[in-house]
Structure 1
Amino acid sequence: MGVFERYLSIWVAVAIIAGTLLGNIFPPVFEWLSSFEFAQVNLIIAVLVWLMIYPVMVQVNFESITQIAREPKGLVLTVIINWLVKPFTMALVGWLFFKGIFADFIQPETANEYLAGVILLGVAPCTAMVFIWSQLTKGDANYTLVQVSVNDVIMIFAFAPIAALLLGVTDIVVPWQTLLLSVGLYVVAPLIAGLLTRRVIINNARKDPTASDRSLQNFDQRMKPWSILGLLMTVLLLFGFQAEVLLTRPLDIAMIATPLLVQTYGIFAITFIIALLIKLPYRIAAPACLIGTSNFFELAVAVAISLFGLKSGAALATVVGVLVEVPVMLSLVWFANRTQHWFKTK
């Protein structure tokens, strides 16, 4: 492991602190950076996420994807957790905190908006960052791609009905621009670029399998520092964009973050235990556990703003989800790597 990977937790902590401080010292700069946005997708963040995902896509081997049909359990587990468990447990956990534990500290209307925001996060499984978490746990890139792709297809049909059911409203409108742009930027475009790069590397190796493998590994090693840099810059910008909220409304941030943390670690624990029980190999189990815990925050933010407004509690809750996700997911990556020996190693 290189210096970037070995001390990743430290670098992320530094990025969080730096983003919060810089966002308060130079708010106009971050306002300007946040203005580069289309369909609730910040284009600067998109470039950084693309930088993280592209090297992962180079490792995707389409010839191996056909073998996934022989190991369907990981895919089935992902679908069940993301669409039959996670949205409903998020609604339950949010209700327990905002309608019960925190009821005396927030207004009922605000509690309803916070609850709506966390529900929207629970109904939107992640599209982009999953590839990063999979790479950090040395997951199967081919299998992860299929898991994400199946999630995206299901999301097209299931997001609006489930969100409408849990929110108790009937006018949920899927922000197609946000959904399609995110999938295009975070899945389709880097996948095409990765496949083309892979073909060039293999052709340059003159079809020698050993030389091809070495070349692909060398490319991955050269790109890793850039991927980690992309992650750190993403964290810095995300916290810089929300620096004012972090310092002016810390109690609200803490109250929203609490059910999100309970939900995230809870869903991970459920998926982790099931993966052990059904004896998934680690390369499939690790991404399967992490996919269900991360969120498609661009979609959740877009829907929250369209339903409740830019300054609403629902929009704030989805933003807190963004801020909580990276540190929490890194802790789960650490745990997955430390427990790798618990799984089959096929």
Structure 2
Amino acid sequence: MGALSGLDRFLPVWIIAAMATGLLLGRLMPGLNTVLDAVKIGEISLPIALGLLLMMYPVLAKVRYDRLGTVTGDRRLLISSLLLNWVLGPALMFALAWIFLPDLPEYRTGLIIVGLARCIAMVLIWNDLARGHREAAAVLVALNSLFQVVAFGALGWFYLRVLPGWLGLSQSTLAVSAWDIAFYVLVFLGIPLLAGYTSRKLGERAKGRIWYEQRFLPRVGPIALYGLLFTIVILFALQGGTITAQPADVARIALPLLAYFALMWGGGFAAGKAIGLPYDKTATLAFTAAGNNFELAIAVAVGVFGVTSGQALAGVVGPLIEVPVLVALVYVSLAARRLFSAKEPAHA
């Protein structure tokens, strides 16, 4: 594998610039966030949806769908991912939310919702930058999507009502429809997945795999990072005023999030190494464990508790902490490749 491209190498610079641009737009144009927030279907912001679709399509277009069978047969990877995402992840966020925010129930509930919303979108970018296994990432993201539709509501009921009751803690409620979650999954994963699969099939049929991978993919690849930066600008333009107005609250919310991302990524990377996975699948396991479906968490928090609620603020702070932390972990992951055998086959 080659080194990071110039665009990728300076990604932290572009992200900081995108954050600053979003904040500046929100400050200089006070009505902008109202306009952007009004352009939505249900609780889905169309500008954010556009950025996410642009971000995910090139990554999913790179997946070699004829190789997915080699991933689905890897039980070590699948079982480890399910345990990390659906057992450890929600439990860890529940514990951290109560440890760091025992006196702030709205923020605590918002963080627990973030912990329940497992990755289906932005994680594909981090996995690709870290030279993870693309086919494995596609399978794990699809698996998380299916579990999300089935388990999100049930886990929300358990972690916000049942478990606090058992422990003698204050309880919350979370009323969210499985149909709503299925709709979010369809929008944020189904559409770019169908587009990526279709473009590969049609491109290879018309011009062959060599043309598709050496000519077409390099042209559309940068769109993913442009989509990421556009999404960050929109997020900060929408919520930057709230964040800058409550810096102490943001700091309180950020601490458990920092601990969560570090522990989940480190636990996933250590687990992959321990069970003998090669580097590319280990990186994929780590990033899919650490990433969260922030668009679902924000949509649920806004839909259930309101746009000005503490739960919604916690959901918004989630990706604002996740983005720079996981960018940093991309570099940590690339540096950690030397811990793996040089004889392991590189994933193209």
CA–CA separation in structure 2 for the residues paired with 1:35 and 1:79: 37
TM-score when normalising by structure 1: 0.90
1:279/1:343 contact within 8 Å kept: no
Q: Read off the aligned partner of 1:330 and give its amino acid letter.
A: V
Residues of 2 paired with 1:77 and 1:215: CA distance?
33
2:157 maps to 1:164? yes
Q: Which residue of 1 aligns with 2:140?
A: 147
Distance of 1:44 and 1:244 partners within structure 2: 18
The partner residue of 1:22 within 25, 36, 39 is: 25
> Does the 8 A contact of 1:272 with 1:285 survive in 2?
yes
User: Where does structure 2 lack aligned partners over 5 or more consecutive residues?
Assistant: 162-170
What secondary structure sits across from 1:242 in the alignment? Answer: helix
Aligned equivalent of 1:137, options 119, 130, 133: 130
Aligned residue pairs total 331
Indicate the residue corresponding to 2:305 in structure 1: 308
Give the Å deviation of 1:306. Answer: 4.2
* 1:191 partnered with 2:188: no
> Does residue 83 of the first structure (1) align with residue 86 of the second (2)?
yes
Please show how residues 33-182 of structure 1 align to structure 2 within 5 Å: 33-99=36-102, 108=103, 111-168=104-161, 172-176=174-178, 178-182=180-184
- The 2-side partners of 1:51 and 1:157 are apart by 27
Cα offset, 1:3, TM superposition = 2.7
Q: Which runs of 4+ in 1 moved over 4 A?
A: none
Contact 1:81–1:271 (CA under 8 A) maintained in structure 2: yes
- The reply on whether 1:343 has 2:340 as its aligned counterpart is yes
Task: Indicate if the aligned counterparts of 2:32 and 2:237 stay in contact, CA closer than 8 A.
Answer: no
Question: What is the DSSP-based 3-state SS (H/G/I as helix, E as strand, rest coil) of the residue aligned with 1:280?
Answer: coil
Deviation of the 1:242 alpha carbon: 1.0
* 1:32 aligned residue (35, 48, 51): 35
- The one-letter code matched in structure 2 to 1:84 is V
Percent identical = 31
User: Aligned to 2:31, what secondary structure does the other structure show?
Assistant: helix
Residues in 1 aligned to 2:303 and 2:37: alpha-carbon distance in whole angstroms:
18
How far apart, CA to CA, are the structure 1 residues paired with 2:212 and 2:308? Answer: 50
Letter in 2 for 1:93: L
Report the Cα offset of residue 273 of structure 1: 1.0
Does residue 1:221 correspond to 2:211, yes or no?
no
Inter-CA distance 343–37: structure 2 relative to 1 (3 Å threshold): farther
Could you report, residue by residue, the CA deviation over 1:51-105 in whole angstroms, capped at 9, with x for unpaired residues? 1211122222232111224322112111101111111111111111112xxxxxx
Whole-Å Cα distance in 2 between the matches of residues 309 and 186 of structure 1? Answer: 22
Residue matched to 2:255: 258
Is 1:329 matched up with 2:322? no
Q: Deviations over 1:104-154 (max 9, x none)?
A: xxxx4xx11111111111111011112212221222222111111111111
Root mean square deviation of aligned Cα: 1.9
